Each structure stands twice: as C-alpha cells, then as structure tokens.
Amino acid sequence: MTDIAVPNGFDLPVAAAPRAGVLDAPLPARVAVRPGDLDGLRPLLRVEVGQEVAAGAPLVTSRDDPRVALCSPAPGRVEAVLRGPRRAVAAVVVAVDGGVAAEQDGCGSLAVAASAGELVDALLASGLWPLLRRWPLGGIADPSVRPSAIFVSALRDDPCEPDPEWVLPRAADDFALGLERLAGLTTGALYLGVDGLRPTPAWAARGEVRRFTGRYPRGNPAVQAYWTDRPRRGEVAWLLDWQAALAIGRSLRRGRPSFERVVATAGPGFLAPAAYRTLQGAALAALPGARADGPLRLVAGGLLTGRRVEPDGFLGFHDAVAYALPEVGARRLLGFLRPGLDRRSRSRSFLSTLLRAAASLPLTTARHGGPRAFVVTDVYRDVCPVEVWPDHLAKALLVGDLDAAEAHGLLDCAHCGLCAFVCPSKVEVAEVLREGAAALRREAAHG
C-alpha cells in the first residue's frame, strides 16, 4: 500500500452538497442512451421508434466495432430517436415498462464467463463494455487490446458525487468480484485508488491499493494513473470509477447486466440535495426533490466537466451527480470595481476570501467577465494536477499544431476542467483541450 500526494489542484467549495446516505428513487418513466457521452463513438442506430426492447437490448452500436453497443437500461418501447448535427444519433429514448422484466437473450453468458476472453465477450454482449475507458486520449477501451494496467478510482472525483462509503460496505462482495475479474484482463496490475485522508476501508481488499491525498481532482482515475504507473509510448491503460467496477461485479454475480447507478443532486437550486439509487440514463425528472424558484441551469456530470441539460433531459452514461445552479444573465455595472463580498476567487482578488467562508457563498453561473485576449500565465500550471502546461497546450491547439500539443503533454491531460475555471481570459480552455484530444484520437485511428 502506497500513499501518493497529488500536487496542485484546487478544491471547489460547494454549498448545498448532498447529505450522507442513499435513497431509492422511483422507477423512471423514461431512460435514454446518448452516444455523445462516449468519446470517439460513431453511432449506428439498431432500433426503430415504437419497437419493444428488453433490458440489455442494443440500441446503438459502434460503426468501428459492431460488438461495442449501448444497450437499453430497462425494458420498454423506443419512444424517440433524437438527432444532432448531420442527422447523427444524439439520443435514443425508451419509455420504461415497469411491469416487464424481460432481458436480452445471451446476457446469461455473464454467469459462465470463466476465462478472460469469455469475460470480454460477455461484457460486450451485455452492453457493459463501454464502462471501460481508454487512457491516454480517452474513448472506449479496445476489446482486442490488453491494457498495461487498469485503474479503478474508489473516491469522489467531483466534490458532490456520492461517497463510495455510502454504498460499498454493503456491496463489498460484488465490488471485490468485479475487481478480481477485471484484474485478469490486464498484462500488468489493477490499481485501486482510495481516500488517503481516511483509514483504508475493508472493501479495498483487491488489487494494488494506492492512497491518494491532495485536492481536486485526486479522484480522477487519469490523475491517479499519471502518478502511479503512466503507460509508456505504445501502451494503453483502462480507467474505471468505482460504480463501473461494482456494476460489473454485480452483473457477474447475478448473471444478467445491471444498469443501476447512484446519482446525487447538488447545488443551491435543489432544496434538499441527496443521493438516489436509479437507472443509468434516467430522466432528470425521476430524481426526487423540490427545486428553488427562479431560473436555474441544470448540469449533468461534474461541476467542471459536465454538460448543460434541459429540465426534461437525461443523465449521461457516466454521470453520478446533477447540479441545479442559479442562472445569472445580466452583467453587473462596473463589477470590476466592486469589493466582491459575494464572489469567489481562487486568486484572492475579492474581500470574500478574507471575510467570509467560501463554502457559504452561492455558486452561480456568473462568469464575472467576458472573453478577452488569451495570455500565458502561471495560473493554469498552479492548478494542473499533472505535469503539463495547459496554456501552451491550448495555444498549440488553437493554431492547429497537434505535434506541438503532443510534445507539450496533451496525452497526459486528465481533462479535469480546472484550467477553464481559473482562466482569467474567460476562454473555454477545457473544451479546447478535449477537442484537441479528439483530433489526435482521430489521427491515430487513421494511422
């Protein structure tokens, strides 16, 4: 067991965090799969509107590898197929039939998946394979490639995600089974990252345990991989969060795929933030809890890495938290001259840093300024949890120089979103880095 201190980073003090414990949410009336949640997936629609589907039935498959599928989390009827730019499949919506417990044929292979090859085939057939993410460059893991290592993060990445201690003590056997079987898929070791600020939990009994301390994003599995056993050139590692490993273990024990997921509500817009047990891709309306009055922005996924969704939208494939933040539209007149008693600042530019606890300040969507010239500054490097220079990376990508971006460490970027949060120029640096990684991934795919 090794202790690792993640340097830099920045803790996001968030008011209205979920209270401890997990509640059961009602069965959602609708669920959806969103191909855009998975980097690099080129979707191919496999169903029609009005078609009856079983739990685990493929709704969308990958054009590059038809074995990789996004499956229905629940039985029901295909209600809608939503399209995006160029008619690409943006989402497949399923109206859930709570009285039907049908499952897709062939999913029972999970119960008899003894060898590594059989396990890969079973995870592909059950729709659980997209839980495995590739690093570097992101995207779904390649079933034909054995990773040099597997990293499972068993601590919160986003500050308001459900705490694994709320779930894993009662599901220790399933979690251990998932880790044990996943370890057989790598040529190296399976690393389990846990919270170094607490005693090592009893459920952390599999794999090479690493205890991480530091600030956000120490729970990011890519950050943990960087400081534990970074892949060498030509090697690939796999990343999972603890809920993915638990879902695999639970599915192996039951012999059928499990699409259960624990999702927390957070932010000032929720009057009683809490964590709920629901289905992957559930409609946001299925999460109980009243919301505050006034305009709100709903963000599914991490506070810095999530996406904006509408009130009738859906959770994403990997989402574990949904935020409701007060929407701020109008800019303050001469706001740069005000002392900032109610504004957050990492750089201690406002009096709020000295006079008020940061956690008591309301978190809103205000940007506190508009876009301006993008300048090189140490502020990005001061928060970056890996040894790269995000400003140099972004400048190389903005002029389309992928070779320079790779030389500056694009492959090591954990895409934590901190560079955009602290950017004094109000540039969407995190989006620039994500698009750069996607471009490099496409270039690698075409040789």
Token pair listed for 274: 């809490």
Predicted pLDDT of residue 106: 45
- Residue 222 half-sphere exposure toward CB, CA atoms < 13 A: 21
Predicted pLDDT of residue 109: 63
Map residue 99 onto helix, strand or coil.
coil
211 bridge partner residues? 3, 194
Predicted pLDDT of residue 325: 87
Map residue 87 onto helix, strand or coil.
helix
Predicted pLDDT of residue 370: 72
pTM: 0.91
Predicted pLDDT of residue 205: 83
Please check whether residue 194 is in contact with residue 155, taking contact to mean a CB–CB distance below 8 angstroms.
yes
> Is the bond leading into 231 cis (omega within 30 degrees of zero)?
no
Predicted pLDDT of residue 75: 94
Predicted pLDDT of residue 335: 57
The per-residue DSSP string of 175-194 comes to HHHHHHHHHTT-SSEEEEEE
pLDDT in tens, 256-281: 899 999 999 998 889 899 999 999 99
d(CA 301, CA 383) in angstroms, rounded, equals 21
Residue 271: φ, ψ to 5°: -75, -25
d(CA 199, CA 201) in angstroms, rounded, equals 6
The per-residue DSSP string of 211-229 comes to EEEESTTTT-HHHHHHHH-
Q: Which amino acid is at 166?
A: W
d(CA 441, CA 447) in angstroms, rounded, equals 10
> Per residue of the chain (447 residues), what is the pLDDT tens digit?
789 999 999 887 777 889 999 999 999 999 999 999 998 899 999 999 999 999 999 999 999 999 999 999 999 999 999 998 888 899 999 999 975 554 554 455 676 667 888 999 999 988 999 999 999 888 899 999 999 999 999 999 888 999 999 999 999 999 999 999 999 999 999 999 999 999 999 999 888 999 999 999 999 999 999 999 888 878 899 999 999 999 999 999 988 899 999 999 998 889 899 999 999 999 999 999 878 888 889 999 988 899 999 999 999 999 999 999 888 766 665 555 565 556 666 666 665 666 555 555 567 776 666 777 777 788 889 999 998 888 889 999 988 899 999 888 899 999 999 998 888 888 888 899 999 998 988 887 766
Predicted pLDDT of residue 115: 86
Predicted pLDDT of residue 278: 96
Predicted pLDDT of residue 105: 47
